[in-house]
Amino acid sequence: METIRRTRIVDLLKRVDYGTKVNVKGWVRTKRGSKAVNFIALNDGSTIKNVQIVADGEKFDPETIKQITTGACINVNGLLVESPGAGQNVEIQAEEIEIYGTCPQDYPMQKKGQTFEYMRQHAHMRLRTNTFGAVFRIRHNMAIAIHKFFHDRGFFYFHSPIITASDCEGAGEMFQVTTKNLYDLKKDEEGRIIYDDDFFGKMTSLTVSGQLEGELGATALGQIYTFGPTFRAENSNTPRHLAEFWMIEPEVAFIDMNDLMDLEEEFIKYCVQWALDNCQDDLEFLNKMIDKTLIERLNSVVSTDFIRLPYTEGIKILEEAAAKGRKFEFPIKWGMDLASEHERYLVEEHFKKPVILTDYPKEIKAFYMKQNEDGKTVQGTDVLFPQIGEIIGGSVREESYDKLINRINELNIPMKDMWWYLDTRKFGTCPHGGFGLGFERLILFVTGMQNIRDVIPFPRTPKTAEF
């Protein structure tokens, strides 16, 4: 076969130099036709769009044509020609076809219209479908948007550790990291495991958040962001929770509640706008196949002001709704952590736009949040989104050494593990704050997909770690 430099399909479809000899390589989506002529829809992952390969029966051995089935991988030389068919400008008049890999009948992505659950069980092959191709191209674009947003605003990308000895959120949902022989654990008289001889000489886990180290970065470099995997051993089998997810955590010195909320809102809008500007083809596909209101919803989010509402006001609105007969599964009471049904009521029914809820009761929030004068609430913010619920959790941090120590003591958090964190408050403390955005929740929103397992290539959830 003649060697011609490969063109990616995304680039090929923009070309108008008809008559040029081109090469494309990719996977067959469909083949239809007759003895006289075959039409092959070829995709190489560079775009949702296929290129049509026209293979004249007389030019090719029927055995070769027979092997070109859905899923097969082929290498094609041919002429770029103007396409008479609707829906595409160009097609390729094939001259040579090499079969890289045939695809037997048991190819798991053979049939169209499989359920998402089926796709998850074949997550190693689902990447080759239109839907997952679109989702993961968008996921890539969102990662680029995030770096661009922060870089353009003078934030430094800061790498917090994956292995850590502290539990940032204090929820005890950590996966342990050890090299100890689990069949032969050394214990003290009270039955507690001795870690002195473990790899790190202490109990360590996978991080639930890079925030604590991010605060060290922000109180030195001014403004940083982390963007990496985080791990939570919470046994939540919901369409919104993963055991391994990616989080973006900016942390900023000299910031107050209003600055923080401005940053949260500007950041999300920037990412959504980026998708609208850079992922048009994939969004149009998802809008057609997955969620007919997707693009409309994305446009609406970038053009509306988010509601900013104290938790206490939110509770009042929920109580009034309940009094008027709106049924909630969980009764409403000041001090409660809002359930998903409450968040969705506020966002989807009451305000019909994103809501930033602020000033939560301190009992339901982490130790590091700045305490308000009232002694009851803290300067935490949750950004609540239609369909998603909580997409961001953030706060202004308690910068007073004494107040922070008191809270740590009240919550019985082991001090000896926290000494380095407390040093930020001891040496040149400053007002600061930040937030964490769950990357997959953003991808859920931007793609219109319904289940968080379908927006990360290889989901980790309770009882699943395949692939």
The residues of the shown chain that bind ligand 4AD, judged by CB under 6 A, are: 168-169, 209, 211, 232, 234, 241-242, 245, 247, 249, 390-395, 434-436, 438, 440-441
Question: Which residue from 19, 11, 80, 71 is spatially nearest to 52, judged by alpha carbons?
Answer: 80
Query: Could you tell me the smallest distance in angstroms from the CB atom of residue 54 to ligand 4AD?
Result: 46
Positions that interact with Mg ion (CB under 5 A): 393
CB nearer to ligand 4AD: give 26 or 389.
389
Per partner kind, with CB cut-offs from 5 to 8 A, the member of ligand 4AD, Mg ion, none near residue 169 is ligand 4AD
Binds 281: which of Mg ion, ligand 4AD, none (CB < 5-8 Å by kind): none
Q: Which is nearer to Mg ion, 78 or 393 (CB)?
A: 393
Q: What 3-state DSSP class applies to 235?
A: coil
Q: How far is the CB of 245 from Mg ion (least distance, A)?
A: 12
78 binding partner (options ligand 4AD, Mg ion, none; Cβ < 5 to 8 Å by kind): none
How many angstroms separate the first and last alpha carbons of the chain? 36
Residue 211 and residue 466: Cα distance in Å, rounded?
A: 29
Rg of the Cα atoms in the chain: 27
- CA gap 358, 346 in Å, rounded: 13
Pick the closer one to ligand 4AD by CB: 43 or 381: 381
CB nearer to ligand 4AD: give 174 or 321. 174
From the list Mg ion, ligand 4AD, none, which binds 26 (C-beta under 5 to 8 Å, kind-based)?
A: none
Please, which residue, 80 or 268, has the CB nearer to ligand 4AD? 268
Which CB, 364 or 415, lies closer to Mg ion? 364
Backbone φ, ψ for residue 424 (5° rounding) = -65, -30
Q: Whose CA is closest to 306, among 340, 263, 369?
A: 263
What's the closest the beta carbon of residue 337 comes to ligand 4AD, in angstroms? 11
| Beta bridge partners of residue 385, listed in sequence order | 389
Minimal distance in Å, beta carbon 55 to Mg ion?
55
Which amino acid, one-letter code, is at 281? D
209 binds, among ligand 4AD, Mg ion, none (CB under 5 to 8 A by kind): ligand 4AD
- Please name the amino acid found at residue 68: I
Residue 282 has which token pair? 């994939």
Smallest distance from Mg ion to CB 437, Å: 11
Tell me which residue of 102, 2, 90 sits closest to 53, measured CA to CA: 90
Residue 245 binds which of Mg ion, ligand 4AD, none (CB < 5-8 A, kind-dependent)? ligand 4AD
Helix, coil or strand: residue 153: coil
DSSP H helices in 222-309 = 257-278, 280-289, 294-303
Binding-site partner at residue 232 among ligand 4AD, Mg ion, none, CB < 5 to 8 Å by type: ligand 4AD
The option from ligand 4AD, Mg ion, none interacting with 231 (CB < 5 to 8 A, set by class) reads none
Task: Assess contact for 239 and 110: CB atoms under 8 A.
Answer: no
* Beta carbon nearer to ligand 4AD, 295 or 444: 444
Q: To 5 degrees, how large is the angle CA 456–CA 354–CA 234?
A: 40
Give the shortest CB-332-to-ligand 4AD separation in angstroms. 21
Question: 267 and 274 in contact (C-beta within 8 Å)?
Answer: no
Cβ-count burial of 107 within 10 angstroms (0-12 exposed, 13-18 middle, 19+ buried)? middle
392 binds, among Mg ion, ligand 4AD, none (CB under 5 to 8 A by kind): ligand 4AD
Shortest CB 136 distance to ligand 4AD, Å? 17
To the nearest whole angstrom, how small is the minimum distance from the Cβ of residue 392 to ligand 4AD? Answer: 5
Residue 249 near which of Mg ion, ligand 4AD, none (CB within 5-8 Å, type-dependent):
ligand 4AD
Shortest separation between residue 101's beta carbon and ligand 4AD, angstroms: 36
For Mg ion, the closer CB: 144 or 364 = 364
- Minimum distance of Mg ion from residue 390's CB (angstroms): 6
Count the helices and strands in the chain (H runs, E runs). Answer: 14, 16
Residue 28: partners with Cβ closer than 8 Å, 6 or more residues away: 40, 41, 42, 68, 69, 70, 71, 72, 73, 74, 103
Q: Residue 96 or residue 234: which is nearer to Mg ion going by CB?
A: 234
8 A C-beta contact, residue 427 and residue 219? no
User: 154 in helix, strand or coil?
Assistant: coil
Query: Which residue, 27 or 367, has its beta carbon nearer to ligand 4AD?
Result: 367
Q: How far apart are CA 151 and CA 172, in angstroms?
A: 33
Length of the chain: 467
